Structure formats: C-alpha cells, structure tokens
Structure 1
Amino acid sequence: MATVNPPTIDRIFAEAPVMAILRGMPLDRSVELATLAWDLGIECVEVPVQSRTAAEVLAAVVKAGAERGRPVGAGTVTTPQRLAWAVSAGAAFTVAPGFDAGVARASLDAGLPHLPGVATATEVQAARALGLDWLKAFPAGVLGPDWFRAMRGPFPEVPFVATGGIDASNAAAFLAAGAKVVAVGSALEDPDQLRRLADLLKH
C-alpha cells in the first residue's frame, strides 16, 4: 500500500542539500551507510530498485529510516513493476533517470512524489507541465555546472537535483552553480565520502 501522507519533495530536501544513493550494495551495508548518512546530518537516502533483491534492500532501509523518522526514496523507477516494488517497500518518493509521463503519473497516483531525470529544456517543460516541481538533472557530471547556470535563466523557479558523476570533490561547484541538492551514488564506495559530503552542510 502507498505511504500515508508522504512528505513532499520540498520537505524531503528541506534539511540538507545532499542525497545519498545506495546502488547495488548488500542489504547490511546499505543499512549501515544509510545510518551513517543520517548520523552525519544527511537526511535523504535513495535506494535504486533495479531488481527484486534491490527492492528487498530498499524495504530494509525504509524500515531503518522509519525508526528514525527519515524518508527513503526508491530510485531507477522506470517501469510499473519497479513502481510496485517501491510502493510495497514503503518508499516515500520515487526517482527516475529520465522523464516518462506514464511512470510519473502512476507514481503520483500511488501517492508518491516523483523526481524525474531531465537533461534538456524540452524535458524540463514537459515535466513541469505534468505538475512536477523538483527535477533531477542527469547525468550532471556530463552536463557540467554551466548547465545549471544556463537553466537558471529560463527556469529560475525550478529546483534541480544534480545526479551522476557527483562526489565530495565537485559537489560544492554544482551547488554554487545553482543546483539545490547534489546526489552522490557510486562515490559512496569510498567510506570517507559521506563524512566529506557532510562537511558541505556546515557551510
């Protein structure tokens, strides 16, 4: 069943401009890293659901988050099946690498805020027309900080989450360029990344 009164994307990202993406990690390690992130003040965690096993990891992280009042999102939600896994696991929101109006509507109908991936002005407009406020810029590492500066001209009201190719060494540059949130995934294989990213919250 869908999350009851799920938090809005605004509320999810209100506390910190960093999101940890726990992709392809074992269940115990995912819970461990999520807990470390929360301890360091990184409120938002996403677990991609690219397989049934990953959906089980999501459910475990959701359970750990519930004990601390922390929302956990389901990432790479690109199909109805993955959306069903997200709903079943109790995810608070869904994330996708691209913009698919059908998936976005289905997620909203399930009561879950949706964060679609965009890389062009056309995709930004299409997502906004569907009523999606927050958008994920992907792959941010390829788009570069200048993409965010350029998008601030026509879309100054759009909050973007920079995702893909972000780590502690370049996160501040994307935030300075206009990204509201930076999402860090594969870089978290380095255990020191979360602590370095948490330092961003102090500035």
Structure 2
Amino acid sequence: MTDFEQIFGRVPVMAILRGMGVDRSAALSNTAWDLGIDSVEVPLQTDEDERALREVVRLGAERGKLVGAGTIVRVEQVSQAQAAGAAYLVSPGLDPAVVRAAQDAGIPILPGVATPSEVQLALSLGLTWLKAFPATWLGAEWFGHIRGPFPQATFVATGGINASNAAEFLDAGVRVVAVGSALEDASQLERLAELLASR
C-alpha cells in the first residue's frame, strides 16, 4: 500500500481542487504539477466532482502523479473513490468507521482533526498522518502545542492556506500545507514557486 511518505515525498505543498468542474480541475492540476506540486486532491461531493476526479486521475497517470479524493465522510465513498482511481483519501473530520473502511480497502486516509482528543483517537486507529482543519482557525501555534504530547503525529494543514501564510505553518512544524484558489492567482503562483524552491 502506498503511504503518505511516498505520496507527499519531499514537497511541502498539496493542491485541493474543490468544486471546480472537469475542465478547471484538469487545467489547475496541470498548473500544480508544472509548479512542482506532486499531490492533487479532488473533493468528492457531486457527480461532477467524480467526473473531475476521474479526469485528473487520468492526467496524473500520464505524468506519474498520484491523485487523492477528498471530503470522504461516508463509508460508501471509499469504494466510490477507489473506483475512480484515487490513490488516497482525505476527510474533513475523524470517523472511525470511514477510517476502518479505508484500511480494509488498503487505501491510505488522511482524517481531519482539530483537538487533542481527535489526535489521540486517530493515533489509536493506527494513523500517524493527520489533516489539521481548519488550519487558519487553529493557528500556527497549535502545532507547537500538539507536538508535545503527540510527537509521532505528522500534520497536513488545510483551510485558509495561501502563499502569504504557508511558510508560517511550515515553520511551525507542519509537513505539508494545502492550497486551492491560490493556483488561479498569478502573483500567488510566483510566491508558491519561491516557497517550493526554498524548502
């Protein structure tokens, strides 16, 4: 089974393409890959999202890139995402039933956490890579506090991250930050490229 060390590699930025439709998702996934961002997530909430996920998976396969499915909140979405070609799953929260379904299916899952109790529960389920969401609401200082009792946890920060605050979260010990609309802003793309080059 592919794990998140392989999925994210050494690149500290991932892209989330939420509700962008097939064409925009295809274009922005290529923008992300061209920039040096390896990991692209397509949230799975509508039939159009599933079509977008399948297209981005197809494009990723041509470039040797793995694509994830996000907003996995129900057990049945695990098989749906796998059928569409997703290599990993991302959830906004922590649902043990969804985590177990993903583990049974042999696909890595990144659940969302925002409290010490959720981090502890996730670790008890055998997870070490966790999504801190919403990151800007938690604040960069949260990661320093949470690392004390849970040094084995590795965090991906999502929610409100862009080129102007990404470095703050990475400096706080976050392994990966996720960006979305920044990929459509030329000035942010330039700053993201600088960030990637400096890490």
Contact residue 72 and residue 91 of structure 2 kept, 8 A: yes
Matched with 2:61 is: 66
Matched with 1:49 is: 44
Shift of 1:192: 4.2
Matched with 2:197 is: 202
Matched with 2:160 is: 165
Shift of 1:101: 0.4
Partner amino acid, structure 2, of 1:198: A
Matched with 1:18 is: 13
Normalised by the length of structure 1, the TM-score is: 0.93
* Structural RMSD (CA): 1.3
Partner amino acid, structure 1, of 2:44: V
Shift of 1:43: 0.6
Q: 1:114 aligns with which of 106, 109, 116?
A: 109
Q: 1:1-150 counterparts in 2 under 5 A?
A: 5=1, 7-150=2-145
Q: Deviations over 1:61-91 (max 9, x none)?
A: 0010011110000000001232232111110
Q: 1:182 aligns with which of 177, 180, 196?
A: 177
Secondary structure at 1:65's aligned position in 2? helix
Matched with 2:146 is: 151
Shift of 1:189: 4.3
Distance 2:35 2:64 in 1: 15
In structure 1, runs of 5+ residues without a counterpart are none
Q: Which stretch has the larger CA shift, 84-93 or 95-104?
A: 84-93
Percent sequence identity over matched residues? 59
Contact residue 89 and residue 107 of structure 2 kept, 8 A: yes
Distance 1:194 1:65 in 2: 20
Aligned length: 198
Secondary structure at 1:67's aligned position in 2? helix
Secondary structure at 2:117's aligned position in 1? helix
